[in-house]
């Protein structure tokens, strides 16, 4: 399954899922599933390094092909019939490569993959989650003409009582000649378009500004979605198309309030990693749906994609369910030394560019986040925070920005984001009063943020081993975890200065052993209210009791 709806009627598209041949650096060969992490194979449970995937395909007639990789962990070099096509770094954003003039017959796709840690990998480092190897998301093969639709960008806004939208269509011309073509759009029973001249060997954008009468708005837990169809027409022939799914909604800030379509919302959410049992980060659609259904049963209306962009199918589900999404770039827990890696700025920039370009149209995304728990207490770190916030605003001014901090009473960056977010583990790492520590944090935030802003408790919680019960409520027991989450939620639900709370975390996840084994039992972050197989712990019912008491 590529998306939750059909993206093309005219363009030929197929998913290259199934068995691919795989070989390690040492020359050992295996048949592995795509999508799938190589750690699923019993001989590759702890394999970290390089490997090569190979797949044969058959093309029926001469054409151009576009290969889209939804996610490869973490570095990929793609070859087609031994010809280099594209290089990409980062497991959590999609990338594509185009091969022109492919003749009919059998061809070979070869992908060299690397999940090792080195200076070349500034973002994928030993961390509190695991960097798996392989194709954590699917691969798509498309046949395209010399001119095709690369992307469509939809930005809705309300003008008094009327919904309007700015729509931009990117068209790429692969040929050496200028081509004249029509762009036709269908959205909410309205059809419009215009003719354009598309220059050779370049990408051109066609802009539209339209009003839409009698459309229904997308809102929290009450989503209304519309298919946006774009056709590219040369003469009387439609030669390409692209379909996306959009919603009419607007996000704004008023003092401490986060507003969706002018109405205040309170975020009741979970932090969620893309990780499941023995499947690693190649989370199947069935699990994504189960995760959302379980979060919804507990009364959640939001999810944070810690700490990287998520699979588009998960975002599609959030669009359908009306779950509010905080999506963030890929950088977690970096001290200044790691942030000074010569590849850090470029790789962060690429991740942000790709995340926003690919996910802009999802109405569920209401916040862009960056740099979780990084060196925000330093002047050099502040420069990097500022640079990334400015980059986001250059790409999207329709959503607020934030960053989760743990630099309590030291952070010098709280004036930069639109929303202040902090991670606080009162009761777990410190046996102190949640209410007392929270009050001190809020007073400090107001004194340094520069102005009154929305405030989110972006992480709180405690660890518990699934099935470990203790009548004395000792640490690591399900009872102790439930107690701590209850105390936190009881405090936060009474504080009308808050805009939201995100429990750390929804499900247990694997961590990198070489750094985290001493503080993470089973080499897992065990703070999930369900375990890695989605078995509920006692805290699940505490959340189910208290989340509904915390407003819409």
Tens-digit pLDDT profile for residues 414-456: 999 999 999 999 999 989 999 999 999 999 999 999 889 999 9
Neighbouring-strand partners of residue 332:
372
Q: How far apart are CA 476 and CA 468, in angstroms?
A: 7
Does residue 394 surpass a pLDDT of 90? yes
Which pLDDT tens digit goes with each residue over 205-242? Answer: 999 999 999 999 999 989 999 999 999 999 999 999 99
Which pLDDT tens digit goes with each residue over 355-370? Answer: 999 999 999 999 999 9
Neighbouring-strand partners of residue 139:
69
pLDDT of residue 463: 98
Percent of the chain beyond pLDDT 70? 100
In the numeric block, which tokens belong to residue 361? 């149209």
DSSP string, 313-362: HHHHHHHHHT-EEEEE-S-BS--HHHHTSTTHHHHHHHHHHHHHHHHTT-
In the numeric block, which tokens belong to residue 440? 């001190």
Which pLDDT tens digit goes with each residue over 50-93? Answer: 999 999 999 999 999 999 999 999 999 999 999 999 999 999 99
DSSP secondary structure code for residue 521 in this structure: G
Which pLDDT tens digit goes with each residue over 154-184? Answer: 999 999 999 999 999 999 999 999 999 999 9
Does residue 551 surpass a pLDDT of 90? no
pLDDT of residue 517: 81
pLDDT of residue 288: 98
Please state, rounded to an integer, the average pLDDT across all residues of the chain: 97
Q: Which pTM value belongs to this model?
A: 0.97
pLDDT band at 549 (very low <50, low <70, confident <90, very high): confident
Quick check: 176 and 200 in contact, CB under 8 A? yes
pLDDT of residue 552: 64
Does residue 15 surpass a pLDDT of 80? yes
Which pLDDT tens digit goes with each residue over 83-102? Answer: 999 999 999 999 999 999 99
Q: How far apart are CA 420 and CA 462, in angstroms?
A: 22
Comparing CA positions, the residue from 542, 505, 507, 525 lying closest to residue 269 is: 505
pLDDT of residue 471: 97
Neighbouring-strand partners of residue 142:
13, 66
Does residue 333 surpass a pLDDT of 70? yes
Burial annotation 3-36 (CB, 10 A radius, 16+ → b, else e): ebeebeebbebeebbeebebebeeeeeeebbbbb
Distances (CA, A) of 313 to 123, 144, 292, 409, 500: 23, 23, 12, 39, 25
pLDDT of residue 515: 81
pLDDT of residue 34: 98
pLDDT band at 490 (very low <50, low <70, confident <90, very high): very high
Does residue 284 surpass a pLDDT of 90? yes
- Which residue is it, tokens 């190979």? 54
DSSP secondary structure code for residue 151 in this structure: E
Q: What's the first-to-final CA gap in the chain, in angstroms?
A: 32
Bridge-based pairing of strands 226-234 and 179-187 is antiparallel
Distances (CA, A) of 163 to 218, 247, 249, 362: 12, 11, 9, 17
Comparing CA positions, the residue from 436, 538, 537 lying closest to residue 491 is: 436
Q: How far apart are CA 163 and CA 335, in angstroms?
A: 44
Structural domains of the chain in order of their starting residue, each with its CATH number: 12-144 (2.60.120.260), 147-246 (2.60.40.10), 265-550 (3.20.20.80)
Within 8 A by CB and 6+ apart from 428, the residues are: 461, 462, 463, 475, 484
């Amino acid at each position: 399954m590529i998306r939750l709806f059909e993206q093309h009627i005219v363009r030929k598209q197929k998913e290259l899922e199934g068995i691919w041949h795989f070989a390690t650096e040492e020359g050992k060969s295996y048949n592995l599933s795509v999508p799938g992490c190589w750690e699923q194979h019993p001989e590759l449970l702890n394999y970290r390094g390089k490997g090569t995937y190979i797949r044969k395909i058959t093309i029926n007639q001469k054409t151009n092909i576009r290969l889209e990789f939804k996610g490869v962990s973490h570095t990929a070099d793609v070859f087609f019939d031994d010809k280099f096509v594209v290089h990409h770094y980062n497991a959590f954003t999609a990338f594509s490569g185009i091969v022109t003039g492919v003749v009919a017959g059998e061809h070979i796709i070869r992908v060299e993959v690397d999940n090792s840690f080195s200076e070349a990998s500034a973002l994928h480092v030993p961390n509190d989650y695991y960097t798996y190897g392989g194709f954590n998301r699917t691969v798509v093969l498309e046949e395209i003409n010399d001119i095709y639709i690369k992307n469509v960008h939809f930005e809705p806004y309300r003008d008094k009582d009327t919904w309007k939208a700015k729509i931009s269509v990117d068209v790429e011309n692969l040929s050496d000649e200028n081509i004249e073509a029509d762009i036709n759009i269908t959205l909410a029973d309205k059809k419009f378009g215009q003719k354009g001249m598309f220059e050779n060997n370049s990408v051109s954008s066609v802009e539209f500004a339209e009003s839409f009468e009698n459309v229904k708005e997308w809102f929290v837990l009450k989503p209304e979605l519309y298919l946006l169809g774009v056709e590219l027409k040369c003469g009387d022939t439609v030669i390409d198309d692209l379909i996306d799914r959009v919603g009419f909604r607007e996000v704004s800030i008023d003092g401490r309030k986060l507003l969706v379509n002018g109405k205040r919302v309170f975020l009741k959410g979970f932090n969620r990693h893309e990780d499941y049992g023995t499947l690693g980060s190649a989370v199947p659609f069935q699990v994504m749906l189960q995760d959302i259904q379980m979060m919804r049963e507990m009364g959640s209306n939001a999810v944070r994609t810690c700490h990287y962009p998520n699979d588009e199918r998960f975002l599609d589900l959030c669009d359908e369910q009306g779950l509010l999404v905080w999506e963030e770039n890929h950088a977690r827990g970096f001290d200044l030394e790691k942030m000074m890696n010569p590849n850090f700025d470029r790789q962060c920039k690429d991740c942000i560019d790709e995340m926003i370009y690919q996910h802009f149209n999802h109405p569920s995304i209401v916040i862009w986040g960056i740099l979780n728990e990084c060196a925000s207490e330093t002047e050099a770190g502040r420069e990097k925070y500022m640079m990334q916030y400015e980059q986001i605003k250059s790409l999207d001014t329709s959503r607020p920005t934030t960053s989760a901090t743990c630099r309590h009473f030291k952070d010098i960056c709280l004036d930069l984001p639109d929303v202040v977010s902090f991670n606080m583990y009162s009761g777990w790492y410190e046996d102190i009063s949640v209410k007392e520590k929270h009050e001190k944090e809020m007073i400090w935030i107001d004194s340094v943020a520069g102005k009154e802003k929305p405030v989110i408790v972006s992480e709180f919680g405690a660890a518990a081993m699934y099935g470990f019960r203790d009548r004395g409520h000792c640490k690591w027991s399900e009872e102790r975890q439930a107690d701590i989450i209850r105390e936190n939620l009881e405090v936060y639900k009474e504080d009308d200065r808050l805009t939201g709370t995100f429990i750390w975390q929804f499900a247990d996840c694997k961590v990198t052993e070489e750094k985290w084994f001493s503080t993470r039992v089973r080499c897992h972050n065990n703070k999930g209210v369900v375990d890695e197989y989605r078995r509920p712990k006692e805290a699940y019912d505490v959340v189910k009791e208290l989340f509904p008491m915390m407003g819409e």
